[in-house]
Chains A and B, each alone.
Chain A
Amino acid sequence: MTNTILPCTALDETTFFTLRQCCALCRVNAQIIHEMIDEGVINPTGNNPQSWRFAATQIKRIQITLRLQQDLRVNLPGAALALDLLEELAELQGLVTTDNP
Chain B
Amino acid sequence: MKFKDYYQALGLKKDSSQDEIKRAYRKLARKLHPDVNKSPEAEEKFKEIGEAYEVLQDPEKRAAYDKFGSNWQAGQDFKPPPNWDAGFEFSGGGFTQADSSQFSDFFESLFGKSSGSPHARPGFHPHGSFHARGQDVHAKIIITLEDSYQGTQKTITLSRPGVDQSGHVTTSPHTITLSIPKGIIEGQQIRLEGQGAGGSGQAGNGDLFLEIAFAPHRIFTVNKRDIQLLLPVTPWEAALGATIPVPTLGGTVDLKIPPGSQSGKKMRLKGRGLSSAAQSGHQYVILTIVTPEPVTEAQRKVYEEMARLMPTNPRQGVFP
Contact = CB atoms under 8 A, between A and B. Distances in A.
B228 interface: yes
Given A68-B35, A72-B29, A5 B188 contact: no
Interface stretch (B12-20, B60-68, B273-281, B297-305): B273-281
A3 B155 contact: yes
B193 interface: yes
Given A12-B188, A70-B127, A6 B223 contact: no
Interface stretch (B83-91, B109-117, B179-187, B232-240): B179-187
Interface stretch (B100-108, B170-178, B246-254): B170-178
Contacts of A97: 221, 223
B184 A12 contact: yes
Given A70-B127, A72-B29, A98-B223, A90 B35 contact: no
A28 B131 CA distance: 11
Contacts of B155: 3
A90 B224 CA distance: 10
| Residue among A8, A66, A86, A95 with the highest chain B CB neighbour number at 10 A | A8
B178 A14 contact: no
Chain A interface extent, by class? 35 or more
Given A6-B177, A60-B187, A97-B221, A28 B128 contact: yes
B190 A67 contact: no
Given A3-B177, A14-B277, A27-B128, A68 B192 contact: no
A71 B33 contact: yes
A90 B186 CA distance: 11
Interface of A: 1-14, 25-28, 56-57, 59-60, 63-64, 66-73, 82, 86, 90, 94-95, 97-98, 101
